[in-house]
Each structure stands twice: as structure tokens, then as C-alpha cells.
């Protein structure tokens, strides 16, 4: 039977990791998913070696934090069994696009015709928007989509994804799982200034806003709400509280996180910003962000007919930094909505550097500062 099983290990060792992997009893058509936060030095390399020796197919990534039920963890590993999953497809990305396999392997049958594309991306890889566009072109409405942006809390530009062949530098992993999924996302951020136009941009770098150096325009916009701000104050703390929102008709703005200054007064963002995009400066209030997460959970729960649910969460790491201690309230309230319907259910997931959710009807985007949830019928 297709399905997913999860377990969180607080202090993983090679022995505990292998023990859990064996206990899950993965078959030849299954895959083990390993989601790490702050892994001990050398553990992942040792796990790659020994899991290969055991003949277990696996994929994984490193994230700034993990979620277990209503609890936030800064270290550990979530181990999941993906039954009936396809062999992992690996895309390696350069500034010119993604290097893909010729075709995506199909999942094993058994999901009632429904397929979930589970996506892990290196959040700092170039051309992520192009990769997601190409993935959507290949699968379209034949799948639903749920994904997580891997990376470190310090935005270190180092490999953060791995599979049976070892580490992947600037890449993505895609697994197709025969399973029904009820998906939802919300962010709750509000506009405080704009509109402004990205008059010049390339990939995730905004060169000009309103025909002026992007950093100057951004700073002036922030100072309307926070007058004491200087350019030296912007990164990382101020910028986390004032992201951009790309206008989308009839939907919440698509958030883009500026993470550092570029050359010549440009802004480097966590995800791509198309040239000529209409942008707004956004600001979040804790009560609205917490309410948005609850709304997403409620929507996913209400639209699911799962009898044996598994809840996966991808919650933006920079959102958690802005919320501070209130992140605990966000997780507790969202988890309470889940357990109102399924008392034994436990959410598992990550604090990510970018979130992906799609029903197959709209093109895929890498979201920032968003709470995403998937209720899977295992």
C-alpha cells in the first residue's frame, strides 16, 4: 500500500539512523526521506555509505529547523518512508537553466490515480523559477506539488541536498508518490508601501526599482515605516521584517525575501523576481501571521477525506525569525486544528528557505515567508 511513515530523532547517530531505516522496512519500490537540521559532522556522509550498503534508496536535505507536532527543533532528523515512490530524479542547475534526466520515472501504482510530486530544492541554486517552470511543463495537471527549499540558517553556499550518489551542488530532487494530497498555503503579510516596478532584474537580483538603484528605493520605502533605518541596518534583521510582495491578481502577493546587497546597489533575493514585476513593501503582524497558518491548516483539513492522514508542513525559516517566540503559538494552533479531526495525527516537517505548493492548475512558484501544509492519505 502506498503511504508515508515518519519519525523524528532528536540526537541522531549513525546507529540510530540505520536502526530507524531498517525498522521502516523499505521495499525495492520505496524511498527513505531524511530531513536534517544541524547534523553532526560527518553523519550524512557515513549514512550515505551505509544506507547504500544496505540497498536502501534515499534522498535528503539540510534545513534551518524541523517541526514535530506543535514543537520546533533546531537540530535532529525527520525520517520518512515514501512507499511506492519513483526513483529520484536529479536536476542540477546553472545560470543557464536545469540539467534534467530525459524523463521522470513513474511511481508505482496504488494511489487511486493521484500523484504527488515531492520536491527538494537548494534554495541558493540559480534559475529556480526556470526549474519549476520546466517541471510543471513536464507534469502539468497530472500531479499535485509539495516542496521545500533546503539550506542553512546562515545562508551558507554549500551543498545541502544528497541522495544515493552523494551530495548535489546547486540542484533539486523530485520524487513522484502515488498518493492523494490536500494542500494549502497562506502567509498573512500586508502591504505598507508601493507599488514599485522592478525596472531591471536578472534571476534573483533586482538591479533597479523605479529606474533607481534597487537598494536606494528599498531603503527609502522601509524608512517610511521605520524612519531610523540606515543601509547598514538592513541585513539581516530589518530586511526579514520587510519583504517584497509581487502582485498577483486575486491572490495573496508572492513574497520575495531580500537577503543581501549586490553590486552597484542591487538587491539579492532568495528567489527570482521577473523584470517589470509590480512590487509592494510588506510587513507582518504576529496575530495575522499566526491566523494565516491556522487558515491554511483548516483549509487542508476540511478538504481532505483521509482516513489515515499524515500532515507535512513546510514553514518559512525567516517567518519564524520574525515571529520569534510567537512561532510556538503558530505551530500549536495549527496542530490543534489538525488533531480536532484526527486526534492521533502528528505533523512533521521543516523550517525551509522557500516553499512550493501547487494543485497542477497553476504554474509553480517558490514562495517565501509562507506556511504550507499537505494532508496526505496514507
- Do 21 and 76 form a contact (C-beta atoms < 8 A)? no
Instruction: Give the per-residue pLDDT at 15.
Output: 96
Q: Which residue has the cell 525559516?
A: 317
- Do 63 and 151 form a contact (C-beta atoms < 8 A)? yes
Instruction: Give the per-residue pLDDT at 4.
Output: 53
**Number of domains present in the structure of the chain:** 2
Q: Are residues 148 and 209 in the same domain?
A: no
Per-residue pLDDT band at 102 (split at 50, 70, 90): low
Q: Are residues 8 and 124 in the same domain?
A: yes
For residues 7, 10, 15, 16, the Cα torsion angle rounded to the nearest 10 degrees is -30
Closest CA to 300 of 321, 314, 285: 314
For residues 228, 229, 231, 234, the Cα torsion angle rounded to the nearest 10 degrees is 160
Domain's final residue, options 283, 300, 325: 283
Instruction: Give the per-residue pLDDT at 98.
Output: 75
C-alpha cell at position 234:
538592513
Instruction: Give the per-residue pLDDT at 2.
Output: 45
Asked if the model's pLDDT at residue 341 lies above 70, the reply is: yes
Q: Are residues 131 and 264 in the same domain?
A: no
Identify the top-confidence range among 100-104, 250-254, 299-303, 306-310. 299-303
Instruction: Give the per-residue pLDDT at 104.
Output: 81
Give the mean pLDDT of 358-378: 91
Q: Are residues 97 and 179 in the same domain?
A: yes
Give the mean pLDDT of 317-341: 95
Q: Are residues 66 and 165 in the same domain?
A: yes
Full strand arrangement of the beta sheet holding 278-283: 190-197, 278-283, 244-246, 254-256
- Do 359 and 116 form a contact (C-beta atoms < 8 A)? no
Q: Are residues 85 and 182 in the same domain?
A: yes
- Do 184 and 297 form a contact (C-beta atoms < 8 A)? yes
Closest CA to 321 of 136, 155, 82, 137: 155
Per-residue pLDDT band at 109 (split at 50, 70, 90): low
pLDDT digits (tens, 9 = 90+) for 241-299: 999 999 988 888 999 999 899 999 999 998 889 999 999 999 999 999 999 999 999 99
The pair phi, psi for residue 44, each rounded to 5°, is -65, -40
C-alpha cell at position 157:
553556499
Q: Are residues 277 and 305 in the same domain?
A: no
How many angstroms separate the CA atoms of 304 and 282, rounded?
31
Per-residue pLDDT band at 60 (split at 50, 70, 90): very high
Q: Are residues 181 and 71 in the same domain?
A: yes
Please give the residue range of the domain that contains residue 328: 4-186+289-377
Asked if the model's pLDDT at residue 3 lies above 60, the reply is: no
Q: Are residues 167 and 298 in the same domain?
A: yes
Domain's final residue, options 251, 283, 315: 283
Instruction: Give the per-residue pLDDT at 46.
Output: 97
Q: Are residues 156 and 197 in the same domain?
A: no
Cα end-to-end span (Å), the chain: 8
Q: Are residues 69 and 133 in the same domain?
A: yes
The pair phi, psi for residue 375, each rounded to 5°, is -100, 115
* Measured CA angle at 355 (ends 351, 361), to 5 deg: 155
Q: Are residues 139 and 28 in the same domain?
A: yes
Domain's final residue, options 262, 283, 304: 283
Q: Which residue has the cell 488533531?
A: 339
Per DSSP bridges, beta strands 371-377 and 161-163 are unpaired
pLDDT digits (tens, 9 = 90+) for 189-234: 999 999 999 999 998 899 999 999 999 999 999 999 999 999 998 9
Instruction: Give the per-residue pLDDT at 103.
Output: 73
pLDDT digits (tens, 9 = 90+) for 141-179: 999 999 999 999 988 889 999 999 999 999 999 999 999
Using H for helix, E for strand and C for coil, what is the string for the chain?
Answer: CCCEEEEEECCCCHHHHHHHHHHCCCCCCCEEEEEEECCCCCHHHHHHHHHHHCCCCEEEEEECEEEECCEEECCEEEEEEECCCCCCEEEEEECCEEECCCCCCCCCCCCCCCCEEEEEEECCCCCHHHHHHHHHHHHHHHCEEEEEEECCCCCCCCCCEEECCEEECCEEEEEEECCCEEEEEECCCEEEEEEEECCEEECCEEEEECCEEHHHHHHHHHHHHCCCCCHHHHHHHHHHHCCEEECCCCCCCEEECEEEECHHHCEEECCCCCCCCEEEEEECCHHHHHHHHHHHHHHHHHCCCCCCEEEEEEEEHHHHHHHCCHHHHHHHHHHHHHHHHCCCCCEEEEEECCEEEECCCCCCCCECCCEEEEEEEC
Bigger pLDDT: 34 vs 125: 34
Share the mean pLDDT of the chain.
92
Amino acid at each position: 500500500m502506498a503511504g508515508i511513515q515518519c519519525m523524528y530523532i532528536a540526537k541522531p547517530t549513525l546507529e540510530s539512523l540505520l536502526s530507524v531505516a531498517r525498522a521502516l522496512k523499505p521495499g525495492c519500490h520505496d524511498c527513505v526521506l531524511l530531513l536534517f537540521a544541524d547534523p553532526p559532522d560527518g553523519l550524512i556522509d557515513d549514512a550515505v555509505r551505509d544506507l547504500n550498503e544496505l540497498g536502501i534508496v534515499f534522498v535528503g536535505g539540510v534545513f534551518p529547523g524541523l517541526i514535530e507536532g506543535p514543537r520546533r527543533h533546531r537540530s535532529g532528523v525527520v525520517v520518512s518512508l515514501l512507499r511506492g515512490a519513483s526513483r529520484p530524479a536529479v536536476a542540477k542547475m546553472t545560470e543557464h537553466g536545469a540539467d534534467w534526466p530525459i524523463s521522470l520515472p513513474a511511481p508505482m501504482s496504488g494511489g487511486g490515480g493521484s500523484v504527488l510530486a515531492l520536491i527538494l530544492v537548494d534554495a541558493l541554486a540559480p534559475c529556480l523559477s526556470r526549474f519549476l517552470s520546466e517541471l510543471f511543463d513536464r507534469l502539468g495537471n497530472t500531479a499535485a506539488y509539495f516542496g521545500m527549499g533546503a539550506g542553512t540558517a546562515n545562508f551558507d553556499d554549500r551543498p545541502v541536498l544528497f541522495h544515493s550518489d552523494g551530495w548535489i551542488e546547486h540542484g533539486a530532487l523530485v520524487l513522484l508518490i502515488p498518493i492523494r494530497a490536500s494542500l494549502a498555503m497562506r502567509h498573512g503579510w500586508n502591504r505598507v508601501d508601493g507599488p514599485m516596478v522592478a525596472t531591471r532584474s536578472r534571476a534573483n537580483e533586482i538591479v533597479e526599482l523605479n529606474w533607481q538603484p534597487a537598494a536606494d528605493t528599498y531603503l527609502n520605502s522601509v524608512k517610511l515605516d521605520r524612519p531610523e533605518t540606515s543601509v547598514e541596518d538592513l541585513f539581516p534583521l530589518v530586511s526579514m521584517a520587510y519583504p517584497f510582495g509581487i502582485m498577483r491578481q486575486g491572490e495573496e502577493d508572492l513574497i520575495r525575501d531580500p537577503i543581501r546587497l549586490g553590486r552597484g546597489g542591487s538587491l539579492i533575493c532568495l528567489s527570482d523576481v521577473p523584470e517589470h514585476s509590480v512590487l509592494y513593501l510588506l510587513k507582518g503582524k504576529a496575530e495575522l501571521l499566526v491566523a494565516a497558518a491556522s487558515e491554511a491548516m483548516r483549509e487542508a483539513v476540511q478538504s481532505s477525506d483521509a482516513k489515515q492522514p499524515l500532515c507535512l508542513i513546510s514553514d518559512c525559516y525567516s517567518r519564524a525569525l520574525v515571529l520569534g517566540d510567537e512561532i510556538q503559538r503558530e505551530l500549536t494552533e495549527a496542530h490543534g486544528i489538525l488533531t480536532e479531526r484526527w486526534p492521533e495525527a502528528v505533523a512533521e516537517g521543516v523550517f525551509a528557505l522557500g516553499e512550493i505548493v501547487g494543485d497542477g492548475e497553476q504554474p509553480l512558484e517558490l514562495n517565501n515567508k509562507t506556511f504550507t501544509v499537505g494532508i496526505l492519505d496514507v
